Amino acid sequence: MKRCIVPFFIAHRGCPHRCVFCDQLKISGSKNQFPAISEIIDTVIAYRKSSRFAAVEVAFFGGSFTALPVEEQEQLLLPLQPLIADGRVDSVRVSTRPDAVNALNAAYLKGMGVSTVELGVQSMSDEVLLLAGRGHNSQSVHEAVSFLKDAGITVGLQLMPGLPGDTPARSLDSLQTVLGMRPDFLRIYPTIVIAGTPLENLYNSGSFRPMTLAGAVDLCKVMLHRALRSGVPVIRIGVQPTAELQYPGVIIAGPFHPAFRQLVEGELCFDLLVKLTTTSVCGEGPLTINCSPFRVSDVVGQRKVNMHRLSSRYGITVAAVRGDEKLSPSELCIASGGVECTANIIRDLDYSREVITHV
């Protein structure tokens, strides 16, 4: 069911550690202040009136919700209880740290109408977690997921490939481990260097080298594909391109792009097109590519990069890219000389670690 998300940002609140990569105030644009009771209620009502969706979810993003004093958690959750009771709010979502979850507070959240908890996992490598200043280890993630699932709460996990000490192999190992926990969804945020963070100091000293944009796209392409094959949806790839984040001098280095996910999904489409045109009888003559209308821009690629690469690398001319409602978002069909060939991104692509060639 499509939901109207009513967001409130509580950046850094409750966080007991300063991770090397983190400046949530810049990333979210938040002023780091709790909303007043009247602001919470008025905002929910305004969103509900203007939304075309029937369901409304209140989301407290940023911070470590379960690490807040109980009085502050109640300050945010109690105003929602009448709205939950009369159906004006359908669900509540919070974010927190793995080591700030236990059976008691998981049950408390469930009782207060919280249906989804997102955990900032970042990595399942204890060495990477230590270098990032996370203050917890990978075992805390396993325990937190178990507590939340036992309480009947939907669990989302956030991964951050490219942290200090990380490698593509470690990122893929982290992914495989969290997929084994069967989360309800994932977010993947390639590491970028934000001004004023300890990571900026590491970068300036030469102690840390972030992934290139091409390397991050290569890695996230494989991560997304493996998540899709496992049946776990990835609801976001790449940090939200807020206005504050894009001010000059805020991003010092790293693989930031305002349409990062489209770059990743464009690579999946390109790889499937290469496989179709080089291993089937449909690769000769001008091609017509049919895909879900949702996929047309990904197939073409930003600035038509996929069309240019097919031409320059493989001598393939594409006559047209057309949307076809009968095709799923994971299917591509190429037609040439009256012959059609169809393939599926999830089923027909197969990536190994060696495919990640960029740094």
Same domain? For 254 and 284 the reply is no
Q: Last residue of some domain: 215, 233, 258?
A: 258
Tell me the C-alpha to C-alpha distance, in Å, between residue 67 and each of 6, 71, 125: 22, 11, 23
Same domain? For 111 and 17 the reply is yes
pLDDT per residue as tens digits for the range 252-285? 999 999 999 999 999 999 999 999 988 776 666 7
Which of 236-240, 272-276, 282-286, 300-304 shows the lowest per-residue confidence on average (mean pLDDT)?
282-286
Q: Last residue of some domain: 258, 289, 314?
A: 258
Contact in structure between 13 and 60 (CB atoms under 8 Å): no
Pairwise CA distance, residues 110 & 125, whole Å:
30
| Total length of the chain | 359
Domain that holds residue 306: 265-355
Same domain? For 178 and 209 the reply is yes
Q: What does pTM read for this prediction? A: 0.93
Contact in structure between 238 and 191 (CB atoms under 8 Å): no
Average pLDDT over residues 306-313: 95
| Alpha carbon of residue 184 to chain centroid | 13
Residue type, 293: P
In the chain, the number of structural domains is 2
Could you tell me whether strands 234-237 and 185-188 are parallel, antiparallel, or unpaired per DSSP bridges? parallel
Q: How many other C-beta atoms can be found within 10 angstroms of the C-beta atom of residue 92?
A: 23
Please provide the average confidence, as pLDDT, over all residues in the chain. Answer: 92
Which pLDDT score, from 0 to 100, does residue 108 have?
97
pLDDT per residue as tens digits for the range 30-71? 555 788 889 999 999 999 999 888 899 999 998 899 999 999
Which pLDDT score, from 0 to 100, does residue 10 have?
87
Residue type, 227: A
Pairwise CA distance, residues 333 & 280, whole Å:
12
Q: How many other C-beta atoms can be found within 10 angstroms of the C-beta atom of residue 60?
A: 26
pLDDT per residue as tens digits for the range 140-193? 999 999 999 999 999 999 999 999 999 999 999 999 999 999 999 999 999 999
Residue 24 pLDDT grade (very low, low, confident, very high; cuts 50, 70, 90): low
Sheet holding 154-159, edge to edge: 3-9, 55-61, 91-96, 114-122, 154-159, 185-188, 234-237
